Amino acid sequence: MKVLITDPIADAGIDRLRDDGHEVETAYDVEGEALLDAVADANALVVRSGTEVTEDVFEAAPDLLIVGRAGIGVDNIDIDAATDHGVIVANAPEGNVRAASEHTVAMAFATARSIPQAHIRLKDGEWAKGDYLGTEVNGKTLGIVGLGRVGQEVAKRLGALGMDLVAYDPYISEERADQLGAELASLEEALDRADFLTIHTPLTPETENLIGEAELAQMEGGYVVNCARGGIIDEAALADAVDDGIVAGAAIDVFADEPIDPDNPLLDVDDVIVTPHLGASTAAAQQNVATSVAEQISAAGAGRPVANALNAPSIDESAFPRVKPYIELAETAGKIAIQLFDERIESVSVDYAGEIADEDVEFVTASALKGVFEPLEWQVNAVNAPSIAEERGIDVVESKTRSSEDFNSLVTVEVSNGEESVSVCGTLFAGDDPRIVRIDGYRVDAIPHGHMLVVRNNDTPGVIGFIGTVLGDNDVNIAGMFNARETIGGEALTVYNLDDPVTDDVRATIAADERIIEPYYISLNGTIE
């Protein structure tokens, strides 16, 4: 793959990409038309916070498979646009967690003890010992906004120093908070009780300006630390609160606009400590996030799950070998089902029976949806298939059952309009040999090959011979065949594996026979491997 890197990352990540056989091109500080030109033939894009990855970028990069963010925050990436274009967005949430949490702790101490201010005055020749009376953290209450990875690490460190922990996070369980020694509370209660407030949430429409004038007024005499994302705290309100003595001090590493505007009011307040977005700036963190992103890009290129995909199903790397054959099987079952269904679809059901029901099957379900939508000529992959279903009002139902008649595992994909439906069941023989074993309840044993003909017909003598003759007369070779029926003389279904495609004229010739109910030509665009 061609990998374009538009923000500097550690050499370890670049080396890993090249070792994996990728062509790596760096184009730092490109923007506008230059960025669109640079990404036009890229298969992967690696960024940090400097590159804005917009709808225009995805429009300009038809071959783009993945955007990797070497870090946590992805507010510079239009994830909705990425999903619409079937592009994976992945970040590196673990690589700089320790660095960000340690910087938060350092900033808390720095503001509580006025370390930078005292340093500057001493450097200027002043012995200002009597001007600084610090605050100890022991016995104080730490309010944590966002108890995710970084918030949890901060909780562990400052909790170990004798701080009481109160956290606001609507997306974490009480059990997990209890394990960390933190009490869950509303934002208002956390602000009321906090002597120190640390921020650890992403910037979203819900968190933008989450902490404003009214919230800061609740923290009278307290300290505010933000090493997460700019824009979560109203900067003008914070500057006023500190300047007026409502808030004792603040330490800020991130800003709404970066690099920071020289007129930013935070720069004019002595008791506000600022650093230029250094939270992840350690050698270890930069190496970690660079290699993490490189690994995910290689995984995407090889068709493996992407561990930290933000807009695509993911799966643990250790479980992938067990699930991989079913990913392809489900996609094929979806392709067959939709090509056998002549109606507008309103729902897709994916059922897992047997041993596969014990696995994480989110990626398998997404692949089944990809199979359903692909023959309809939508630009679809496992990334955007779930969102395509949602956009088009198609219900998706996933179910599991531990028991499976006759097979160790069975995957069934059913498409329906509420009144009529078609179901296709697949399994694996000998571990990884795919088979279609049922079509609408008919027992078959069909190898999912590139070309298939599925014929519903009356169970009368000579039908199979007739179909074989028509195919032979048109130079279509039969690679395999399986016939099933309801009852003697009733309706039958026959699956033909073919070496060649079936034209509309050939299908029309078969359909013209009064014994034929309906012939369906199924194109699978290749063989499951």
Other Cβ atoms less than 10 A from the Cβ of 34: the count is 12
SS3 352: strand
pTM for this predicted structure: 0.67
Cα(379)–Cα(382) distance, integer angstroms? 11
The answer to whether 245 and 239 are in contact (CB under 8 A) is: no
Homologous superfamily, domain 320-523: D-3-phosphoglycerate dehydrogenase; domain 3 (3.30.1330.90)
State the CATH architecture for 2-94+284-301: 3-Layer(aba) Sandwich (3.40)
C-alpha distances (whole Å) from 197 to each of 57, 72, 133, 259, 279 are 37, 21, 20, 24, 17
Catalytic residue from among 16, 22, 69, 277? 277
For 129-150, b where at least 16 C-beta lie within 10 A, e where not — what string? eeeeeebebeebbbbbbbbbbb
188 annotated active-site: no
Question: Would you write out the chain's pLDDT as a tens digit for each of its 529 residues?
Answer: 999 999 999 999 999 999 999 999 999 989 999 999 999 999 999 999 889 999 999 999 999 999 999 988 888 999 999 988 989 999 998 888 999 999 999 999 999 999 999 999 999 999 999 999 999 999 999 999 999 889 999 999 999 999 999 999 988 888 889 999 999 999 999 999 999 999 999 888 889 999 999 999 999 999 999 999 999 999 999 999 999 999 999 999 999 999 999 999 999 999 999 999 999 899 999 999 999 999 999 999 988 878 888 888 777 777 888 888 999 899 999 999 999 998 889 999 999 999 999 998 998 999 999 999 887 756 688 888 888 888 788 999 999 998 877 788 999 999 999 899 999 999 998 767 899 999 998 999 888 878 999 999 999 999 999 999 999 999 999 988 888 887 787 889 999 999 989 999 999 999 999 999 999 999 886 433 3
User: Which residues share a beta bridge with 439?
Assistant: 424, 442
Catalytic residue from among 229, 435, 449, 507? 229
SS3 185: coil
85 annotated active-site: no
Element (H, E) at 23: strand 23-26
277 annotated active-site: yes
CATH 3.30.1330.90 spans which residues of the chain?
Answer: 320-523
Tell me the H-state helices in 74-167: 79-84, 97-112, 115-123, 149-159
CATH 3.40.50.720 spans which residues of the chain?
Answer: 2-94+284-301, 97-274
Catalytic residue from among 55, 59, 126, 258? 258
CATH of 97-274, picked from 3.30.390.50, 3.30.360.10, 3.40.50.720, 3.40.50.10860, is 3.40.50.720
What lies within 8 Å, CB to CB, of 121 at 6+ separation is 128, 131
